[in-house]
Structure 1
Amino acid sequence: MAATATVEKAVNVLLKWRDSQSHLQNPQLLEEDEFLYLIVSLKKIPQNRVNPMKVPLPHPLIGPSTDSAELCMFIDDRPKSGITKDAASKKIMSENIPITKLIKLSKLKTDYQPFEAKRKLCDSYNMFFADKRIIPLLPRLLGKQFFKKKKIPVPVDLKHKNWKEQIEKACSSAMLFLGSGTCCVVKVAKLSLGKKEIVENVVAAINGIAEVVPSKWGSIRSFHLKLPESLALPVYQAMPDLCLKIVAADKADNPTPMEEKQQVEDEEDDASHQKMMKKKKNKGRIHEVQYMDDQENIDNSNSGADIKDEIKTDDIPTKKKKKTDMKVKDKKKKKKVAV
């Protein structure tokens, strides 16, 4: 969990940086409130979803307490919806619901087809709401501008009577949009609040996001705080998941008997493995062969007569010698018989 002291230091640094940059910027006719953003980095890519996750904040960014809050709501005026614009406006007026503009689905299809009309509509209001039954139809009707500026309409169940409760809960929450990546940005505080209120919002946002995302704190990699044009300051960083074996220096110098035995066995295994590799290498060796057509071998070799002299004829039995021995034996037998 992120410590409150760390968040306070990051907020103080960002506020000092903003004060130092204020005199360098050109003065604006209409002052706009700046926001503080929380960058959430996850370990894995989450499942993509269009509807945002609501993270409650102690000090709301928009709502009845803010003077310049402009809220717009899209209603379903199809015949089967059972809701008309007149009935919805009467309910808003009677219950003092903070909605400044109602737009019917049919008017959204006809009057806001051009890109310029969609861009102007996106910039005209701080937050958008819509009947949850028409949420699947809105991405095609609103265009990319609403998704780029994180102004996707928040679904509201208009069948129930607690319209005000649903809208005020959404206004007092930070909207977490889980996209197709591991990093997302959440608007958590505005600089018009006090320093203590900003810190409370940031801490509540960090703890709330960790409870909402899948696997909770196990899927959080880091949290960073930043202003629109400032650097991102880290306020939380998870430890790496690598399991490393750390051996102390004294233990490595003085191994135990079991470790010495294991070391000797490893060395013997390495030696036997090297011997096997050498045998395999020697098996396929090609020896030198002298061929008869090699001129040098012919010149240096002895003549055929010399080779015959070296070999004794008595040691080599031949077919002719065997035949003469048989004839001699036959003659001796005949002489004995004659006698």
Structure 2
Amino acid sequence: MATVISGDNQSKSRIQRDTIKKALISLLKWKKKQIADQKEPISGNVDDFFYLLLTLKKIPHKDFTKAPKKIPLPHSLHPPPEFLRSCLIIDDRPKPNSQKLTFEYADKKIKSLGIPISKILKLSKLKSDYRTFDSKTELLNSFDVFLADRRVIDMLPEILGKVFYKNKRKIPVPVELRRDGDWKEEIEMGFCCSLLWLSKGTCSVVKIGKFGGMEVEKMVDNVVAAIGGVVEVAPKKWVGVKSFHLKFFDSLALPIYQKKEITKD
């Protein structure tokens, strides 16, 4: 009987590190040439992230596209948490069978655990104080990373709107904030992960690195881990995967995995 390999180990068995590394190096050369060929500095927000592009064999069921999936990475896409402006959205709605999560409780717990959160924002305050486009834009620009109680994640697209979700730059990362849960582990994992939001088509992307901000070997580590994480949450796992590519937002997509289709004569 063959050994069953899952998650990270299975991605390593199907996609070689050398294949990933060669694709990343090619993309880096392309990006450096693009920058060198620019006659004038590019103004505005430039997307310098590397992306892992997932192509599924079939369009996913709508249940898979409702909310983002957390993809843990060994190397964070961000600076250390203490140097980040971070906002934690908590669920302060009354609970029928448990105590309401108050700002005071969350603030005390965060401080006692030494977690570097810049601002704690109650769901009720988010809904009342950030109704306009301008207020939502100001909130978006005030923080580098947003984390949110998993129980309110499905509500946030309607509350935060297109300001947050159109380009998916700062979608809140879901974290488990049960009173008896391990907040420190959950939030630390939230700082060191990427998000996969399965699209309503067959292609979706997840950030795995940033130009100029990470060594090639660390980006390879992230790609291997991301493939394992993506497959775990993808419909039918490896069976449903058609291909994986690597790309910048504005580059060609370089293939690192293509499922071989068996044809019948």
TM-score bin (small chain)? 0.7 to 0.9
Of the three residues 146, 149, 152, the one matched with 1:128 is 146
**Counterpart of 2:120?**
102
Aligned 8 A contact 1:51 1:155 in 2 = no
* Larger displacement relative to structure 2 (49-58 or 19-28): 19-28
**Counterpart of 2:203?**
183
**Counterpart of 1:156?**
175
Runs of 4+ in 1 over 6 A off after TM superposition: 28-33
1:163 is displaced (CA, Å) by: 0.9
User: Are the structure 2 counterparts of residues 227 and 66 from structure 1 closer, same or farther at C-alpha, using a change threshold of 3 Å?
Assistant: farther
**Counterpart of 1:40?**
54
1:54 aligns with 2:79: no
* Larger displacement relative to structure 2 (209-218 or 41-50): 209-218
1:75 aligns with 2:90: yes
| Secondary structure of the corresponding residue to residue 21 of structure 2 | helix
User: Are the structure 2 counterparts of residues 82 and 132 from structure 1 closer, same or farther at C-alpha, using a change threshold of 3 Å?
Assistant: same
User: Are the structure 2 counterparts of residues 153 and 39 from structure 1 closer, same or farther at C-alpha, using a change threshold of 3 Å?
Assistant: same
1:171 aligns with 2:191: yes
Instruction: Report the AA paired with residue 187 of structure 1.
Output: K
User: Are the structure 2 counterparts of residues 22 and 68 from structure 1 closer, same or farther at C-alpha, using a change threshold of 3 Å?
Assistant: farther
1:26 is displaced (CA, Å) by: 4.1
| Secondary structure of the corresponding residue to residue 209 of structure 2 | strand
Aligned 8 A contact 1:38 1:226 in 2 = yes
**Counterpart of 2:29?**
16
1:7 aligns with 2:20: yes
**Counterpart of 2:105?**
87
Instruction: Report the AA paired with residue 237 of structure 1.
Output: Q
1:95 is displaced (CA, Å) by: 0.9
User: Are the structure 2 counterparts of residues 209 and 140 from structure 1 closer, same or farther at C-alpha, using a change threshold of 3 Å?
Assistant: closer
1:98 is displaced (CA, Å) by: 3.0
Aligned 8 A contact 1:51 1:154 in 2 = no
| Secondary structure of the corresponding residue to residue 44 of structure 1 | coil
Number of aligned residue pairs: give it.
Answer: 243
1:10 is displaced (CA, Å) by: 0.9
* Larger displacement relative to structure 2 (52-61 or 230-239): 52-61
Distance 1:79 1:67 in 2: 31
**Counterpart of 1:197?**
218
Distance 2:93 2:87 in 1: 19
User: Are the structure 2 counterparts of residues 30 and 231 from structure 1 closer, same or farther at C-alpha, using a change threshold of 3 Å?
Assistant: closer
Instruction: Report the AA paired with residue 77 of structure 1.
Output: D
1:105 is displaced (CA, Å) by: 1.9
Distance 1:187 1:149 in 2: 13
Instruction: Report the AA paired with residue 102 of structure 1.
Output: I
| Secondary structure of the corresponding residue to residue 232 of structure 2 | helix
1:179 is displaced (CA, Å) by: 2.5
Q: Which has the higher strand share?
A: 2
| Secondary structure of the corresponding residue to residue 92 of structure 1 | helix
Please, what is the CA RMSD of the aligned residues?
2.6
Distance 1:116 1:69 in 2: 23
Task: State the Cα deviation string for residues 193-214 of structure 1 (Å, max 9, x = none).
Answer: 1111111211221233223312
Task: State the Cα deviation string for residues 217-256 of structure 1 (Å, max 9, x = none).
Answer: 211111111112222111111112432x2xxxxxxxxxxx
TM-score, structure 2 length as denominator?
0.81
What are structure 1's unaligned runs of at least 5 residues? 246-339
User: Are the structure 2 counterparts of residues 50 and 99 from structure 1 closer, same or farther at C-alpha, using a change threshold of 3 Å?
Assistant: farther
